[in-house]
Each structure stands twice: as C-alpha cells, then as structure tokens.
Amino acid sequence: MKDFTVFVSSSDNYSDIWDLFFDLFHKYWPEYKGPIYLQTQEKEYTHPDLNIICTKVGKMKYFGQTFRAGLDKIPNENVLLIMIDYIFMGKVNHDLLIKLYDFFIKENLDSLCLRKQPFKNFAPSKNPLLIIGLPPSHKIMFGYQIAFWKKEMLHEMAPPHENPWMSEWYGSERAEKMNLHIECLANDKDAPIIYDMRGCLHQGKWLDNAIRFIKQTNYNIDFSKRGEYIDSQGYRSLQYRFRIKWTIWKTGLMGSYWDLMFKRKKIHQ
C-alpha cells in the first residue's frame, strides 16, 4: 500500500486555532503516527504528540500560489486534505479510513471524499459505501472537503490566481472537463471522520456550531477575539452578493475562463 500524508491547508492568519485543531486531531485520531504537513507562510509550529512539518512557503498574493507551493513540499504521491477549520468532532474510525484509502489506491481514483456529496449524476461504486460522481454535476463536482487526493490532481484544482471559493466554483467544471475519477461516501452515517462540513469559521469569525461544540469539550478559547459570525452581516448581506459576483467575473478574466476553454482536456476516457 502506498502511504498517504496529511496535508492541513492553513495560513499564518489562523495560527490562533492551531492548538485547538491539533489537540482535537490527536484526541480523536491517536492512531495516526505519520507526518502532518501544515501550510504556513513564515511561522513554525510544533505539537508534543504529533509530527508536524510546517511548509513555510513565504508570503504569496493568492491562495492558489500558496496551496500549490505547499503541495510541492510533500514527497508522497497521495494526500489526505484537511482545511484548518474542519476541526474533528468525534472519534476517527481508523480501520474504516484505511480500508477506504486501500480502495482509493486499488481503483486508481483521483479523489475519494470522506463525506457524501450532492452529485446530480452518479453511479454505484464497487464499494457499497461509496458512489461515483459523474458529470455534469453543476458546480458540485469539486470542493475542499476532507478527502484523499492524488497530489498532482489536487494541484490542478487550484490555479495560482484563485482563492478557495473560486477554485471550487471553477474547479467543478475543470473536474468535469478532465473527467476526474471521483468517488464519495453514499451516506454520511459511514463517515470515518466526524466534522461539520460548514467548518468552524466563516469570514474569519466563529460559527455557532463550533462555539457550542468547543464549549461542550471545555476547551479554553476566547471567542471574542474573532467574534461570532452573523449571516445578515456575512454571506447573506447585499454587499457580499455584489462582491462575489465581481470576484467570479474578475477571476474568470484573470485566467479561469481561458483555463477551461483551452487547457482542460480529458485525462480518462
């Protein structure tokens, strides 16, 4: 079996939640003994119970540049991608996780998402726990949920000029055009890693679900430093709606439209 490496996508701006993330990581997944590559710009971080390697890629203008530079630091061909705000919320089913990874390798998949995805088109998998994502899938073929990835394919999903949301927006069509082999869980009750798919932060502020969970664990965090996210002031605000439309258009002109029109070709028949 080819080994995988855990890649935690973060930035120095999130260093205040690294202790929380990795304390919960170790608490709920003590079986994992391998390296964890933590995406950082300049900061160094260690944890007494984990083998953390900071990428220290330097300050770059865009997420895509930073993300690719971090992936380039990883020697393994396969990664388990985890975004920094997907804190673990329960015991990891280690045995199931390894069985799913074995299937990922055996079937030569490009990605295996460890949560159910709302694919519009799908087919049964050889594994009864999974389904195969089929295009067209209308903006949901790709996302940054916790998943096993071939590193080279994940690299392709983040062009240098894109931010995470634009990588998902344009990435779904990229995945369709490339005909990536993507499978995901058929039912979230079988998820080997328990986490909230919304994450714990929106626009840098704490989500109510994360606040409730962290308080239940008696973990000591000063939530006032980041503040609590409020929908009416965030993604549902009129200002944000205008801004996201402008970002989609601008990102397209910076290269995402041309990338889809001229670069992306099928890699599988």
- Each residue's pLDDT tens digit, 115-168: 999 998 999 999 999 999 998 877 788 999 999 999 999 999 999 999 999 999
Domain boundaries, the chain: 4-263
Which of 4-8, 163-167, 182-186, 235-239 is predicted least confidently?
235-239
Long-range pairs of 234-238 with CB within 8 A, sequence gap ≥ 24: 234/202, 234/203, 234/205, 235/202, 235/203
CB neighbours (10 Å) of residue 77?
A: 14
Which two tokens mark 102? Answer: 């074995």
* Overall fold of domain 4-263: Spore Coat Polysaccharide Biosynthesis Protein SpsA; Chain A (3.90.550)
Q: Is the pLDDT of residue 240 over 80?
A: no
User: Rounded to whole angstroms, how far apart are CA atoms 66 and 198?
Assistant: 22
The helix-helix angle for 238-251 and 164-178 (nearest 10°) equals: 50
pLDDT 10s digits, 54-101: 999 999 999 999 999 999 999 999 999 999 999 999 999 999 999 999
Q: What one-character-per-residue DSSP string does 133-148 give?
A: EES--SS-S---SSEE
Instruction: Characterise 108 by phi-psi region: left (phi > 0), alpha (psi -120 to 50), beta (else).
Output: left
Upstream peptide bond of 135 is cis (omega within 30 degrees of 0)? no
